């Protein structure tokens, strides 16, 4: 029960992009070396973010990644869901129906966490970021 490293990479990348001049394209090399991860692996993660509509990419020389227009609304939860999926943290075989109290406790606990992550917008955090990532 841990957040994956991929999620970690995705969050750092998104915040770095948010702290950069908006229009500028940034290649995966620059993003990767800053996080000490291989370019090929980070590339796969960024492709997920592209497909989730959070960033856009440009191939070819001087290509790279850039935030999309809707950036202001993107939350931590959006990034996490894009990488880890949206399945519930708690699942049981033998489902005894939605009135089960165990499920209710576990699911609502997860929702408390998600609510907090949904309220944290990347744009807000980027403003407050002190130095480097």
Identify which of residues 87 and 131 has a Cβ nearer to DNA in the complex: 87
* 87 forms part of the interface with its own copies (CB under 8 A): yes
CB 45, CB 39: distance < 8 Å: no
Structure tokens at 65: 């990644």
Choose, by CB under 8 A, the member of 43, 52, 117, 123 that binds its own copies: 117
Name the maximum alpha-carbon separation found in the chain.
Answer: 57
The strand pairing partners of 57, in sequence order, are 65
31 three-class SS: helix
Residue 94: CB minimum distance to DNA, A:
13
Residue 98: CB minimum distance to ligand SF4, A:
8
* 88 forms part of the interface with DNA (CB under 7 A): no
CB 88, CB 41: distance < 8 Å: no
Q: Give the interface with DNA as residue ranges (CB under 7 A).
A: 1, 4-6, 27-29, 37-41, 43-44, 46-47, 50-51, 57-65, 84
């Amino acid at each position: 029960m841990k957040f994956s490293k991929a999620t970690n990479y995705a969050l750092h990348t998104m915040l770095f992009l948010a702290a950069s001049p908006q229009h500028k394209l940034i290649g995966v090399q620059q993003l990767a070396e800053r996080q000490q991860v291989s370019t090929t692996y980070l590339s796969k993660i960024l492709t997920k973010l592209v497909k989730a509509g959070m960033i856009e990419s440009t191939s070819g020389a001087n290509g790279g990644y850039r935030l999309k227009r809707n950036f202001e609304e993107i939350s931590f939860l959006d990034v996490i869901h894009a990488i880890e999926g949206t399945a519930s943290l708690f699942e049981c075989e033998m489902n005894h129906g939605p009135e089960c109290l165990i499920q209710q406790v576990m699911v609502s606990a997860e929702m408390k966490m998600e609510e907090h992550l949904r309220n944290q917008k990347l744009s807000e955090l980027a403003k407050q970021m002190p130095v480097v990532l």
